[in-house]
A and B are shown apart, each in its own frame.
Chain A
Amino acid sequence: MTQIPTVETRRLSLRGPQAKDYPNFKATFASYRSRYMGGPLNPYESWMLYAAEIGHWDIRGYGMWMIHDRATDETYGMAGGWFPAMWPEPEIAWFIWPEKAGRGFALEAVDAARRWLYREKGWEGAVSYLDAYDLDSVRLAERLGAKRDPEAVMIDKDDSVYRHPSPAKLRNSQLSDAIALEIAHYADPRWKPEGWALD
C-alpha cells in the first residue's frame, strides 16, 4: 500500500487520515456546513466517503490529508489532491471543521498541499471546484491566487471552477510572498482578537 507522506508547516502537520480522526469528519458531513461538498450525508454515506478518502491515496498516489495541529495533534479538517472518476481535472480540495474556521488553517494547509502536488507529483496546475455561494472557499481560492475559469468544464452546472496559478507563476512571486505573509500573521498575530469568527 502507498505510505501517505507527512507534510509539516509552521502550525500544522498534514497526515494520512486514520480511524480515530473519523468522528470530526462525520460531524462535519452531518452538518449544514457540508452543503457545498455534497452533504449532508447519513452515517453510512459519510463512513464510505471517509474510507474512500483513504483509498484514493492508494489508487491515485495522492489524496486528502488530515490537518493536525503540530503541537496538540488536534484535527482541523482535510486538504489535498482529489481526482475521482468523472472529475474533468485533478482538484485541490479542502474543508475545515465548522468550529475551527477563521484561523487560517485552510490557507496554510492548502498552500502546503499545492506545493507538495506541484513538487512531488509534477502537477503543472490544478483547479478547485467550488460552489459560487460558498464564499469562504471562493475567498480562500482568490487569496491563493486562483482565478475563476469560465471556460473550464464543470462537474455540476452550478459549480465555479477556480484555476490555480502554475508552479512557474508561483516561483519567487509577489503572490507567494503575500501568502507566506498572511500565514505568518495568522501564526503570530500582531494583535490578538477578542474571539475567533465562527464561520
Chain B
Amino acid sequence: MTEIPVIETDRMILRGPQASDWEDYAAFRASPRMSTVGGPFNRREAFQQFCALIGHWQVRGYGRWVMTDKETGEFLGVVGIYFPEGWPEPEIAWSVADAGEGRGLAQEAALAARAWAYQSLGWTRLMSLVDPSNERSVALAKRMGCEIGGTFEHPDFGTLTYWYHPGPEAQT
C-alpha cells in the first residue's frame, strides 16, 4: 500500500491516520463543529470516514493527514487533499478539533499541504470548497490568498463556495 508521507511544520507533525487516533477522531466527528460538513456523525459513520481517510491515499495517491502536536502528539484535526467521487476537482480541505482552534494551526497545516501538493504532485492549481456559513473557514481561505469563484451544488452538502488558491508561482 502507498506509504503516507510525513510532513513536519513549525508546531505539528502531519502523518497518516493510525488505529490509535480512532477515539480522538470519533469524538471530533461527533462534535457540533461538524455542522457545516454534514455532521455531527455517529461512531458508525465516523469509522467509515476514518478508514476512508486511509483508503483515499490508496485510491488517489494523495489524501489527508492527521494533524498532531509536535511536542505532545495531541490530535488537532485533519488536513490535506480531498477528492472523493462527485467532487468537482481535488480540494485542500481542513477541519480542526477543539484543541487545534484559535492558534493558526489550520493555516499552518493547510499551507504545508498546499506546498506539498505543488511540489510533490506537480499541480498548478488548487481550490477549497467552503460552506458559506462557515465563517472561520472563509476567513482562513482569505488569509491563504484565495479568491472566490463560483458555487458548487452537492446533493448531500448543499451549496458550497469555490475558493481558488494562489498557484505554485506565488509560493515563496
Contact = CB atoms under 8 A, between A and B. Distances in A.
Nearest to B58: A54
A51 B56 contact: yes
B85 A47 contact: yes
Chain A contact residues: over half helix, strand or loop, or mixed?
helix
Interface residues of B, number: 33
B102 interface: no
B118 interface: no
A52 B85 contact: no
Contact of A54 (B43, B44, B59): B59
Contacts, number: 102
A81 interface: no
A46 interface: yes
Contact of B59 (A3, A22, A85): A22
Nearest to B45: A85
Contacts of A44: 84-87, 154-156
A51 B4 contact: no
Interface residues of A, number: 30
25 contacts: A1-B3, A1-B54, A4-B1, A18-B58, A42-B155, A43-B85, A44-B84, A44-B85, A44-B154, A48-B48, A48-B52, A49-B48, A51-B52, A51-B53, A51-B54, A52-B47, A52-B52, A54-B51, A54-B59, A55-B50, A55-B51, A55-B52, A56-B51, A85-B43, A85-B44
Given A52-B51, A53-B55, 18 more contacts: A4-B1, A42-B155, A43-B85, A44-B85, A44-B86, A47-B85, A48-B84, A49-B52, A51-B55, A51-B56, A52-B47, A54-B51, A55-B50, A55-B56, A55-B58, A58-B19, A59-B51, A84-B51
Interface of B: 1-4, 16-17, 19, 22, 26, 42-44, 46-56, 58-60, 84-87, 154-156
